[in-house]
């Protein structure tokens, strides 16, 4: 909902959309964070002008969220949205200073990413029954591609046939910010994808997605989330069972088998190495396990 007292929000969101080329999901997050903050400014400080907003006013908003029990992780994201917004105002000359300079983000306890054990993934593909129809074939191949490439849910759903290079055994993925990356896949998987493409049912007009339903429509995120959760529930007891867990499993299994950290970063499409380093912690935990079991003095 637009906030007329602060027309500076829209140009910033347009900048993120057209220049930074952020995804729709990210844009919605920024918009929600900013509208929430500026509604607070309207209700608590009579919609004072942008240049009069101070760090203490920002802190009062953060304190209110903390009182409501909002997590540190969410608060940090909202701080990040505000930082970007005020930085843009400096860049465009709307402001000469930002109230965010002295704002300190709350500490977030780092949790190790959950992942499915390698033996459990093997069991899923070797022994778990999938229905003997187009739906079952699609579900099995989608889960296999998630685990074989580490791609995100949005990336897989939007994947087009033209992005699969059969001869080179690779897939071109369009990630966050429309950044492209190439992910190698096994010859066996490429052959399965090729056969899937050849056997496709008639598609709806304008649909060129790699994965489609038996009615020729693109897969929906909720559908994919549903069958991934259902299948993972049959092979693992970990709490989270989502497509993103398959991404974590892909990265963790690579690291545990000696893959180079920079290579994993490129495969995942991370913009910084820091985002990939969480997977080294799992590797260290695995080393500790080995040490405890194998060393006489452990």
Question: Could you tell me if 141 and 84 lie in one domain?
Answer: no
Question: Could you tell me if 73 and 134 lie in one domain?
Answer: no
**Cα-flanking dihedrals φ and ψ of residue 170, to 5°?**
-150, 160
Q: Tabulate helix, strand, coil % of the chain (nearest 5).
A: 60, 5, 35
Question: Could you tell me if 35 and 165 lie in one domain?
Answer: no
Question: Could you tell me if 198 and 255 lie in one domain?
Answer: yes
Q: Flag whether pLDDT at 18 surpasses 70.
A: yes
Domain limit, last residue, from 91, 126, 155: 91
Q: List all residues 6 or more positions away from 298 whose beta carbon is below 8 Å from its beta carbon.
A: 291, 292
Question: Could you tell me if 241 and 148 lie in one domain?
Answer: yes
Domain limit, last residue, from 91, 126, 143: 91
* Residue 136: per-residue pLDDT: 96
Measured distance CA(173)–CA(289) in Å, rounded: 35
Decide: residue 212, CB within 10 A, 0-12 exposed, 13-18 middle, 19+ buried.
buried
Measured distance CA(49)–CA(7) in Å, rounded: 11
Measured distance CA(140)–CA(224) in Å, rounded: 11
Question: Could you tell me if 144 and 198 lie in one domain?
Answer: yes
| 108 domain-assigned | no
| 216 domain-assigned | yes
Summarize the confidence of residues 253-259 as an average pLDDT. Answer: 89
Decide: residue 133, CB within 10 A, 0-12 exposed, 13-18 middle, 19+ buried.
exposed
Local confidence band at 173 (pLDDT 50, 70, 90 cut-offs): very high
Q: Flag whether pLDDT at 141 surpasses 70.
A: yes
Question: Could you tell me if 85 and 182 lie in one domain?
Answer: no
Question: Could you tell me if 46 and 136 lie in one domain?
Answer: no
Domain that holds residue 27: 9-91
Give the pLDDT confidence of 45-75 residue by residue, as tens digits: 999 999 999 999 999 999 999 999 999 989 9
0.75 exceeded by pTM = no
| 104 domain-assigned | no
Summarize the confidence of residues 90-114 as an average pLDDT. Answer: 88
Structure tokens at 158: 């939007």
The two most distant CA atoms of the chain are separated, in Å, by 70
DSSP letter (8 states) at residue 258: T
| 109 domain-assigned | no
DSSP letter (8 states) at residue 19: I
Summarize the confidence of residues 112-139 as an average pLDDT. Answer: 93
How many domains are there within the chain? Answer: 2
Indicate which residues carry an active-site annotation.
152, 176, 244, 247, 270, 279
The CATH number for 65's domain is 1.10.150
| 107 domain-assigned | no
Question: Could you tell me if 190 and 248 lie in one domain?
Answer: yes
Measured distance CA(15)–CA(88) in Å, rounded: 9
Question: Could you tell me if 36 and 84 lie in one domain?
Answer: yes
Question: Could you tell me if 58 and 145 lie in one domain?
Answer: no
Local confidence band at 245 (pLDDT 50, 70, 90 cut-offs): very high
| 97 domain-assigned | no
Question: Could you tell me if 255 and 158 lie in one domain?
Answer: yes
| 105 domain-assigned | no
Decide: residue 81, CB within 10 A, 0-12 exposed, 13-18 middle, 19+ buried.
buried
| 85 domain-assigned | yes
Check if the beta carbon of residue 58 is closer than 8 Å to that of residue 82: yes
Q: How many residues does the chain have?
A: 298
């Amino acid at each position: 909902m637009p906030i007329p007292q602060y027309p500076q929000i829209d140009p910033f969101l347009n900048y993120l959309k057209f220049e930074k080329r952020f995804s729709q999901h990210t844009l919605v997050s920024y918009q929600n964070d900013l509208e929430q903050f500026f509604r607070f400014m309207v209700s608590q400080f009579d919609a004072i002008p942008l240049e009069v907003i101070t760090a203490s006013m920002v802190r009062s908003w953060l304190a209110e969220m903390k009182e409501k029990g909002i997590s540190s992780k969410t608060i940090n994201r909202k701080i990040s949205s505000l930082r970007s917004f005020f930085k843009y105002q400096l860049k465009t000359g709307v402001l000469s200073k930002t109230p965010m300079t002295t704002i300190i983000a709350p500490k977030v306890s780092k949790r190790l990413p959950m992942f499915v054990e390698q033996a459990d993934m093997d069991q899923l593909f070797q022994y778990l029954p999938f229905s003997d129809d187009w739906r079952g074939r699609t579900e099995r191949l989608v889960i296999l591609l998630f685990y074989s490439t580490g791609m995100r849910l949005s990336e897989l759903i939007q994947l087009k046939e033209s992005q699969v290079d059969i001869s080179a055994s690779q897939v071109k993925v369009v990630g966050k910010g429309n950044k492209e990356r190439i992910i190698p896949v096994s010859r066996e998987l490429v052959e399965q994808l090729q056969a899937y493409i050849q056997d496709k049912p008639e598609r709806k007009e304008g649909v060129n997605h790699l994965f489609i339903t038996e009615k020729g429509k693109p897969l929906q995120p909720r559908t994919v989330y549903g069958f991934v959760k259902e299948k993972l529930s049959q092979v693992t007891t970990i709490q989270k069972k989502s497509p993103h867990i398959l991404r974590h499993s892909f990265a963790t299994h690579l690291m545990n088998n000696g893959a180079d950290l920079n290579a994993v970063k490129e495969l995942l499409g991370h913009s910084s190495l820091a985002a990939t380093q969480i997977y080294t912690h799992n590797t260290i935990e695995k080393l500790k396990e080995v040490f405890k079991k194998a060393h006489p003095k452990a």
